Amino acid sequence: MKRVRCPKCDEFITFDETKYKEGQSLIFECPQCGKQFGIRIGTTKLRNTQKKEIINENEYDDKYGAIIVIENVFHYKQVIPLKLGDNIIGRYMKGSKTNTPIETNDPSIDITHCIINVSIDKKGHLKYILRDGPSYTGTFVDNEILGNKERRIIYDGTLFTIGATSIILKAPNGKDDNKKDINE
């Protein structure tokens, strides 16, 4: 299955590319805004400049880790790399200040829902701090809602929920240097 994005509203349309031959032109009508647009099946000269979709957890640049958006009725599974500093997480919308967008139809996710701050501590280990945006529906960690201005340190494998969407933090190489060893 392939996805194409509407040039007007950025809505994704899914189709089965195996039913068409290379070079064949297809016309789509966006169910969201009604815009009609065409594509041609095959290779493009712009392939190198297009944003590569990351769907495999192990195919991202894992210098600072990533968030894994779990697939549900609103969207596909997504693996979104994190950067050093504030990662503003929210629903994708053209022109928004969200630098870690989730492509979703989930109406309960705000455009700027929550923030994960990635920093390096004095020992050179990565540290992840989650805080709410503030958002209308809240940010939940371990089934507890984060309070206004509350910050929570999260670790590799932490599950948190925004709207109807569950997200897992994945530290680089699946390890988290900040977790305390039980024997220490």
- Encode pLDDT of 57-104 as tens digits: 555 556 899 999 998 888 889 999 999 999 999 998 888 888 999 988
Residue 112: CB atoms within 10 A of its CB come to 19
Query: Is the model more confident about 53 or about 2?
Result: 2
Phi-psi label, residue 94: left if phi above 0, alpha if psi -120 to 50, beta otherwise: beta
As a whole number of angstroms, the distance between CA 52 and CA 54 comes to: 6
Give the pLDDT band of residue 175 (cuts 50, 70, 90).
low
Task: Among 23-32, 37-46, 94-103, 124-133, name the one with the lowest average pLDDT.
Answer: 37-46
DSSP H helical ranges for 72-138 = none
Q: Which fold has domain 66-174?
A: Tumour Suppressor Smad4 (2.60.200)
pLDDT for 12 beyond 60: yes
Query: Is the model more confident about 118 or about 54?
Result: 118
Task: Among 101-105, 149-153, 180-184, name the one with the lowest average pLDDT.
Answer: 180-184
Token pair of 140, please? Answer: 């939940």
Mean pLDDT for 144-164 is 92
Q: Delimit the CATH 2.60.200.20 region(s) of the chain.
A: 66-174
> CA angle 131-137-139, nearest 5°?
25
Residue 26: CB atoms within 10 A of its CB come to 14
pLDDT score of 83: 95
